[in-house]
Amino acid sequence: MDKNTEFENEVAKNIAGLSADAEFKKQSLEWCVAAARHRYTYNFRFLGRPIIQVPQDIMAMQELIWQVKPDLIIETGIAHGGSLIMNASMLALLDMCDAIEAGQTLDPGVSQRKVLGIDIDIRAHNRAAIETHPMSSRIRMIQGSSIAPEIINLVEKTASDYQRVFVCLDSNHTHDHVLAELEAYAPLTSIGSYCVVFDTIVEDLPENMFIDRPWGKGNNPRTAVWEYLRRLNSANYIASDGAPLKLEIDKSIENKLLITVSPDGFLRRI
Ligand SMILES: C[S@@+](CC[C@H](N)C(=O)[O-])C[C@H]1O[C@@H](n2cnc3c(N)ncnc32)[C@H](O)[C@@H]1O
């Protein structure tokens, strides 16, 4: 067995060990609850912009983007722009790697790869910071509700020009909203790519943590994922590429992270 395979096997064993360690999983969830009480996810920046994520999920996104090599990332929920900038910077690295492999000179400002961000309220100071960021040439933003028919049409039209589409849902976290986003955007996910649904962890957090929010236990992104997968399994959904739409929860990602806001939220199109 070659050394790389040997190492991969060791890591797979680590992950299997983590997924079987009920006590460590419980401690990890307790950590997530304590972190949420401190609004921990607000503490980080990506290339200068605030990103509302736990660092473990940022690492998972990096691994997935490298694996999928998308040419379009659709992202609902922009906020301060940190995740847009992170995804755009990953696309810039993919462009750089392609150019190196092809022996070509790279024009860093030119890329076919794009991130398309949708937010109901793109605040002026956030828009200005995103539009003046060095990664801005790879970013398009649309203001409006991610489940409004005209916004969905615009996103579908944009996606039809791309080959390998990756989807991230991180806007309003109610069941109905996320379910409507899944109905609209999951079918745009390319085969082998992912539709990542953030904040599915709400289902595991104490009731009293969301008194000022419309979501909570029983009404959140995780319940929406479960309902959407139930619908996919009980009817023949066709994706935008004309092939059957089959998504499965990639448990290996949350098993290796343990700390994630997206348990059951890493959906891979198979
Ligand atoms: C959790 S933040 C996004 C965080 C961002 N993805 C990041 O990682 O830094 C949620 C965002 O969703 C937006 N939002 C809320 N309702 C929405 C809707 N109906 N359509 C689109 N965006 C919405 C909010 O304005 C807010 O900026």
pLDDT in tens, 59-92: 999 999 999 999 999 999 999 999 999 999 999 9
Q: By mean pLDDT, which of 50-64, 106-120, 132-146, 178-192 is the weakest?
A: 106-120
The whole-number average pLDDT for the span 133-139 is: 96
- CB distance 165 to ligand 1 below 6 Å: no
User: How far is Cα 73 from Cα 87, in angstroms, rounded to an integer?
Assistant: 7
Model pLDDT, residue 91 = 97
Tokens of 125: 């100071």
- Split at pLDDT 50, 70, 90, the class of 110 is confident
DSSP letters along 93-124, please? Answer: HHHHHHHHHHTPPP-TT--S-EEEEEES---H
Model pLDDT, residue 221 = 98
Average pLDDT, the chain: 96
- Split at pLDDT 50, 70, 90, the class of 111 is confident
Model pLDDT, residue 210 = 82
**Smallest CA separation from ligand 1 atom 16, residue:** 172
**Smallest CA separation from ligand 1 atom 19, residue:** 145
Count CB-CB contacts under 10 A for residue 177.
Answer: 21
Q: Please report, rounded to a whole number, the percentage of residues in the chain having pLDDT higher than 70.
A: 100
User: How far is Cα 198 from Cα 73, in angstroms, rounded to an integer?
Assistant: 15
- Split at pLDDT 50, 70, 90, the class of 109 is confident
**Smallest CA separation from ligand 1 atom 5, residue:** 78
Model pLDDT, residue 209 = 87
pLDDT in tens, 25-66: 999 999 999 999 999 999 999 999 999 999 999 999 999 999
User: How far is Cα 71 from Cα 87, in angstroms, rounded to an integer?
Assistant: 11
Ligand 1 atom closest to 82 (CA): 9
Model pLDDT, residue 115 = 98
The whole-number average pLDDT for the span 224-240 is: 97
| Strand extents, DSSP E, the chain | 44-46, 49-51, 72-76, 114-119, 139-143, 165-169, 194-197, 247-249, 266-269
